[in-house]
């Protein structure tokens, strides 16, 4: 996929990886950016930053858990300019595992991805055959999605769902000429990691993560997991017998 002159939609763009991705695409020649977030003040700051970098930006305050609002927003964006790339990035951390926070985690991290991807796919499929623009989707999972984590059960489960869904959709969508990438970052500076009290090995700043993600999408990678040492560790633990992984995870300190 060419990085210049494409129309990019990004959810959760008011902070963290979403903000860094919006600024990366604006700086690298994206024609139009469609961004959303729940915080109007932060979203406006990102919009202004991207405009200063040369992009035409359309920003809207939205909750990705609202399926009707998301479907209507995607239609509006696609009517303004045919979308080439949609990144379902919006996510939240569980913090304390209360009934409400667990439900909110799944509503945002799972339903929010579904509410982004389904209308985007509908827009792609409705596009006249004579238009040959690139069509790509990327969903943001996490290294936490490789194995259930006792320090964040709801968060890791929600990210595992996103990872599995994206991996399963990739060969299906390939037959339709639609590219699918699953993004599994490690610890990247964001409002979620700002709340973490646990050790965060291989910690990364958001702009560096955005560059890795954008280049991975451009190369049509199925899984964009980084940094590689952390990916190796979480993959290894995920294939170990439960008795071993239970022992390892049992040594982790409880979340403060």
Catalytic residues: 155
Q: Is the peptide bond before 227 cis (omega within 30 degrees of 0)?
A: yes
Q: Using CB atoms within 10 Å of the CB of residue 118, give its burial: 0 to 12 exposed, 13 to 18 middle, 19+ buried.
A: middle
Residue with tokens 């569980």: 94
Residue 201 has what DSSP assignment? T
Tell me how far apart the alpha carbons of residues 105 and 149 are, in angstroms, rounded to a whole number: 15
Tell which residue, 203, 92, 213, has the closest CA to residue 158.
92
Tell me how far apart the alpha carbons of residues 121 and 127 are, in angstroms, rounded to a whole number: 10
Structure token digits, residue 140: 């943001």
The separation between CA 35 and the C-alpha centre of its own chain, rounded to angstroms, equals 13
* Cα→Cα distances 127→74, 130, 138, 176, 220, Å: 14, 8, 19, 12, 21
């Amino acid at each position: 996929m060419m990085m210049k002159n494409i129309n990019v939609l990004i959810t959760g763009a008011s902070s963290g990886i979403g903000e860094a991705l919006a600024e990366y695409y604006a700086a690298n020649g994206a024609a139009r950016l469609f961004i959303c977030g729940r915080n109007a003040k932060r979203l406006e700051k990102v919009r202004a930053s991207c405009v200063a970098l040369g992009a035409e930006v359309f920003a809207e305050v939205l909750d990705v858990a609202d399926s009707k609002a998301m479907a209507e927003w995607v239609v509006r964006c696609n009517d303004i300019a045919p979308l080439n790339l949609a990144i379902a990035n919006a996510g939240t951390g569980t913090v304390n595992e209360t009934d409400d926070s667990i439900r909110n985690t799944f509503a945002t991290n799972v339903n929010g991805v579904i509410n982004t991807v389904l209308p985007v796919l509908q827009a792609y499929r409705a596009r006249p055959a004579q238009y040959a623009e690139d069509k790509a989707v990327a969903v943001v999972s996490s290294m936490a999605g490789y194995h259930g984590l006792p320090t964040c059960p709801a968060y890791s489960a929600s990210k595992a769902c996103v990872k599995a869904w994206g991996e399963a959709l990739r060969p299906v969508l390939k037959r339709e000429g639609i590219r699918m990438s699953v993004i599994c970052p490690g610890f990247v500076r964001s409002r979620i990691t700002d709340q973490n009290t646990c050790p965060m090995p291989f910690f990364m700043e958001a702009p560096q993560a955005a560059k890795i993600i954008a280049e991975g999408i451009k190369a049509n990678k199925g899984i964009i997991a980084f940094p590689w040492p952390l990916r190796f560790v979480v993959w290894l633990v995920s294939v170990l017998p439960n008795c071993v992984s239970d022992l390892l995870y049992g040594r982790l300190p409880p979340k403060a």
